[in-house]
Amino acid sequence: MINVSVIGATGYAGAEIVRLLVNHPHVNITCLTSKQYSGMNYSDVYPSMRGVVDIKCQEFEPDIIAEKSDIIFLALPHKLSMETAKSLFKYKKKIIDLSADFRFKNALTYESVYDRHLAPELLEHSTYGLSEVFFNNISKAQIIGNPGCYPTSVLLALIPLIKEKLIHSETIIIDSKSGVSGAGRELSLPTHFCEANEGFKAYKVAEHRHIPEIEEYLSDAAEKPIHVTFVPHLVPMNRGILSTIYADLTDHGRAKTIRECLLSFYESKKFVRICSESILPNTSYVKATNYCDIGFKVEARKSRLILITAIDNLVKGAAGQAIQNMNIMTGIEETTGIDNCPFSV
């Protein structure tokens, strides 16, 4: 059994890690920390958990956590995450960080949209946790920078096509739509029920912090700088991200080669499903699962590719991929504990 702690266990991402860990056959949850709710029973914070997770939330103390854990998940706001990682690093435990703090190879990129980086010396020990793409790096890393929800929904579709040069990388436009849980459990007017319900809007148009993350890994794949247009929107539902991605095809890019490229890239990867022509992704098809569904259509008259991807922002876009990474890091079969059956309704 793997001993696991979750630091910041009472936000939505942390709680989703807890949920999935409970379902994981090889895991023993040892510590759950919470600043806001320390001292309270976890099931008083989340009454759905009565009789299931009756652990008491505690304050974060690095030596106690390190002693009791083989794997430590950080589900904290950025900045606090790297401080926490720093305090844990010396204990040589594996850390999976869901914030943005370890997603960038270069601290400067991080600092261009977030804060000053407080632990640049740890970056060489960390790797980007896009599970299907960076499996080998993940299996050897001590720290995982777990990908953002939007980047996951975008990169899984684009990286294979960019590597094969099937699309003109300067023409990429990404129109993403996210359920409200992406904004977390912290109270705010835009996520107040009556403000979000029965409405639809764009936000942070072409200035969302996930843009550099998307660009970093697309540029890597292209071996040249790529700039994308990215517009996120808020959907009145709890879970799910659908990204509609537009790009002009190169001469090699045709429906057949697109499909072959994607099928081949994800051949042995259970969690990425390439949709047949007759099916388009829908966030409800992947709700509460670790799947990323990818569909596409070629608009022949304009030589334009339209890619559509769907994930559950809390699972493949956060906690599920984090556990997938834990599985990879510990040598367990990648799908363990996160291969539950999708919902029909």
Residues with active-site annotation: 149
Q: Residue 17 and residue 34: Cα distance in Å, rounded? A: 14
For the segment 267-326, give every residue that binds its own copies (CB under 8 A): 270, 273, 275, 278-289, 293, 297, 299, 301-302, 304, 306, 308, 310, 314
Q: Which is nearer to its own copies, 120 or 184 (CB)?
A: 184
Q: Residue 269 and residue 274: Cα distance in Å, rounded? A: 11
Token readout for 214 is: 């998307």
Q: Which is nearer to its own copies, 124 or 186 (CB)?
A: 186
Q: In sequence order, which residues have a C-beta less than 8 Å from that of residue 302 and are 6 or more positions away?
A: 248
The CA–CA distances, whole Å, from 35 to 11, 49, 65, 74 equal: 11, 19, 14, 13
Q: Which is nearer to its own copies, 118 or 306 (CB)?
A: 306
Residue 331 binding its own copies, by CB under 8 A: no
The single residue among 53, 72, 95, 167 that binds its own copies, judged by CB under 8 A, is 53
Q: Binding marks (x or -) toward its own copies, 174..213, rule CB under 8 A?
A: -x-x-xxx---x-xxx-xxxxxxxxxxxxx-xx-------
Which of the stretches 65-73, 127-135, 229-237, 256-264 binds its own copies when contact is defined by CB under 8 A? Answer: 229-237
Report in angstroms how near the CB of residue 15 gets to its own copies at its nearest. Answer: 4
The single residue among 64, 109, 246, 259 that binds its own copies, judged by CB under 8 A, is 246
The single residue among 48, 106, 136, 264 that binds its own copies, judged by CB under 8 A, is 48
Asked whether 31 and 5 are in contact (CB, 8 A), the reply is yes
Report in angstroms how near the CB of residue 141 gets to its own copies at its nearest. Answer: 27
**Three-state SS sequence of 151-177:** HHHHHHHHHHHHHCCCECHHHCEEEEE
For the segment 9-38, give every residue that binds its own copies (CB under 8 A): 12, 15-16, 18-20, 22-23
Q: Residue 158 and residue 140: Cα distance in Å, rounded? A: 25
Asked whether 74 and 82 are in contact (CB, 8 A), the reply is no
For the segment 116-175, give every residue that binds its own copies (CB under 8 A): 173, 175
Q: Which is nearer to its own copies, 116 or 276 (CB)?
A: 276
Token readout for 220 is: 């890597």
Report in angstroms how near the CB of residue 215 gets to its own copies at its nearest. Answer: 11
Report in angstroms how near the CB of residue 104 gets to its own copies at its nearest. Answer: 19
Q: Residue 26 and residue 286: Cα distance in Å, rounded? A: 24
The CA–CA distances, whole Å, from 125 to 107, 110, 308 equal: 13, 16, 34
